[in-house]
Amino acid sequence: MVFLRQVSVLAAASVLLFGCGDYPRDARDSLKDAADLGKLKAGYTLHSPWVSEGNAGSSPTGHEARLINEFAGALDLNVEWISGSESQLLEWLEKGEIDLAIGGFPKDLAWKSHAALTFPYFSSTSREVPRVIAVPAGENQLLTTLERYLLEVTEATNR
C-alpha cells in the first residue's frame, strides 16, 4: 500500500514537472503579446536620475529608461512609453494595460501585494536603497526574462 502511494505521488510529480513545457508562463501572456505586437508597453513616473523627462515628444531618459530600451532591443521590440503617477501605473499594471513600470522604485515598495517586483538590481552606494522594476502580478515569464537581463547587465557592469 505504501509502495503504491509512493508510485502515485511520483507519477503525479512527473506529470506536473515534465508537462509544463513553457515554464514559467505569463497568466496574461504579456511577453507573447509584446512579441506579437512588436512593442513593450512601459509605464513610467519621473524620478531623476532613474527616469527623467526627455526632449519634447521623445522617450524618457535616465538609468531605468535606458535599461528598458536595451531590454526591449534585446527582444527585438520597440518601447511604447506611457507616463503616469505611481498610483496610475499600479492601476494599469493590475489591469494589464502596461507590461512594466519604472520610476526608481525602492525595493520596499508598498506595491508588493499588487505587482511582481524584480530582485533589487541596483544600488550606487551602501546607503542607497536598491531599486526594482514592477510587472503585473502573475506575469512570471516576463518577470524571469527581465530579471535574467538585469542579471546580465549587473554582471557586465561589475566586471
Q: Which range marks the domain in which residue 97 is found?
A: 23-157
All cell numbers assigned to 150: 538585469
Q: Determine, yes or no, domain membership for 46.
A: yes
Q: What is the pLDDT of residues 9-25, one digit of tens each?
A: 333 433 343 444 566 77
| 24: CB partners within 8 A, 6+ apart | 140, 141, 143, 144
Q: What angle do CA 153, 154, 158 make, to 5 degrees?
A: 115
Quick check: 158 pLDDT over 90? no
Residues 60 and 122: their CA atoms lie apart, in Å, by 19
Q: Determine, yes or no, domain membership for 93.
A: yes
DSSP 113: G
- The neighbour count for residue 153, using CB atoms within 10 Å, is 16
Q: Which of 25, 64, 19 is nearest to 143 (CA)?
A: 25
How far is the first Cα of the chain from the last one, in angstroms, to the nearest whole number?
Answer: 56
C-alpha distances in angstroms, 131 versus 84, 105, 152? 19, 5, 16
The CATH number assigned to the domain holding 110 equals: 3.40.190.10
Q: Determine, yes or no, domain membership for 11.
A: no
Q: What is the pLDDT of residues 73-128, one digit of tens each?
A: 999 999 999 999 999 999 999 999 999 999 999 988 888 788 999 999 875 656 67
Specify the number of domains making up the chain. Answer: 1
Q: Determine, yes or no, domain membership for 84.
A: yes
Quick check: 2 pLDDT over 90? no
* Mean pLDDT value of segment 127-152: 91
